[in-house]
Structure 1
Amino acid sequence: MTGVATSDLWDERGEDLVSLAVQFQDVGGRVRFEGSVRTVLCRGDNQLVKEAAARPGHGYVLVVDGGGALDSALMGGNIAAAAARNGWAGAVIHGAVRDRAEIGALDFGVKAMGSNPRKSRKDGAGAVDVPVEIGGVAITPGAHLWADEDGIVIDPAAARAEQEGEGEA
């Protein structure tokens, strides 16, 4: 859990950060969360989200770009519970979730566009750990994300630093 408010972080670091203007709803039982970003790009298919949630999260935040579509849920109670059990800090779903009551009872951060009880496909279509764009903001795996009641801010430089560190090995 983060003790830093996004507004204070913005006041301190300003233009070094980016802010998501997309208005997400707080769905999880934890409103404030932070961590390095891992991404899933998918449209109407949550198989890759389910697979990611089943792996150790190491305090990462799962950013799921579902294109903002609300026609089916990309995360439900079972997937959110698996992510919480496996050490993910939270999830940002640019699309819909379902099982809001179950997700809200978890000590796990989830921000989503809305909800829909309809299941998504499970074909595995999409990509993992690729750059995504939400609301005109590019989000790269390894960037650092903070989320709270006021919204979401991202430090894109953290991704560059992580990539440069990988090249030194």
Structure 2
Amino acid sequence: MTQAPTSLEKTADIYDEHETDIQVCEPIFRDYGGHIRFSGRIVTIKCHEDNSRVKERLGQPGEGRVLVVDAGGSTRCAMLGDLLAQKGVDNGWAGILMYGCIRDAREIGEMPIGVKALATIPKKSIRKGAGETDLPVTFAQVTFRPGDWLYADEDGVVVLPAGE
């Protein structure tokens, strides 16, 4: 392939075109953002029940990228709420894939950003400054590497290597 697919292409079509190189997430995520279809280069965070790094990263320029957060699949607290999602919007992030929970789902659903997560819960996370950034993370049968391409829509989430 000579160029990356556009954000307007369906994940099913991207899969058909790149069947041998593509990774497909297990269907465990629900849509919460105002944009169901989103795509961009991946930026990663690995953190567990501490959203300090999420706040930090969403406060930086997103440049159309997608923040992939490995929160360990925890359903004990929310790692994203409306205030952090708004930071993402204000700073130009295309979307957030959260392997964990969010809160303020109604407000996030009205924002021009893609957000996929496992579920919602009203309990907020702690902030102690824990977590790692810019490393490969694996969940939902996919390894997400910084710089790779993530595409999300109504059918799910797919990832193409950066060289594609």
Bin for the TM-score computed over the shorter chain: over 0.9
Candidates 126, 130, 138, aligned match of 2:131: 126
Normalising by structure 1, report the TM-score: 0.91
Letter in 2 for 1:14: E
1:80 and 2:85 matched = yes
Candidates 86, 108, 116, aligned match of 1:103: 108
Q: Can you list the C-alpha shifts for 1:48-98, whole angstroms capped at 9, x where unaligned?
A: 000000000011000000011110000000000000110000000000000
Letter in 2 for 1:122: R
1:148 and 2:153 matched = yes
Q: Which runs of 5+ in 1 are unaligned?
A: 163-169
Candidates 15, 29, 32, aligned match of 2:20: 15
1:90 and 2:95 matched = yes
**TM-aligned CA deviation for residue 136 of structure 1:** 2.9
Between the two proteins, the alignment pairs up a number of residues equal to 159
Q: Which residue of 2 aligns with 1:113?
A: 118
CA distance in 2, matches of 1:15, 1:115: 34
Is the 8 Å Cα contact of residues 42 and 67 (structure 2) preserved in structure 1? yes
Runs of 4+ more than 2 Å apart: none
Q: Which runs of 5+ in 2 are unaligned?
A: 1-5
CA distance in 1, matches of 2:159, 2:60: 23
Matches within 5 A, 1:47-86: 47-86=52-91
Identity across aligned pairs (percent)? 43
**TM-aligned CA deviation for residue 13 of structure 1:** 1.3
CA distance in 2, matches of 1:129, 1:22: 24
Q: Can you list the C-alpha shifts for 1:108-141, whole angstroms capped at 9, x where unaligned?
A: 0000000110010101111011110012321110
Q: Which residue of 1 aligns with 2:144?
A: 139
Normalising by structure 2, report the TM-score: 0.94
Q: When you count helix as a share of all residues, which structure comes out higher?
A: 1
CA distance in 2, matches of 1:71, 1:113: 11
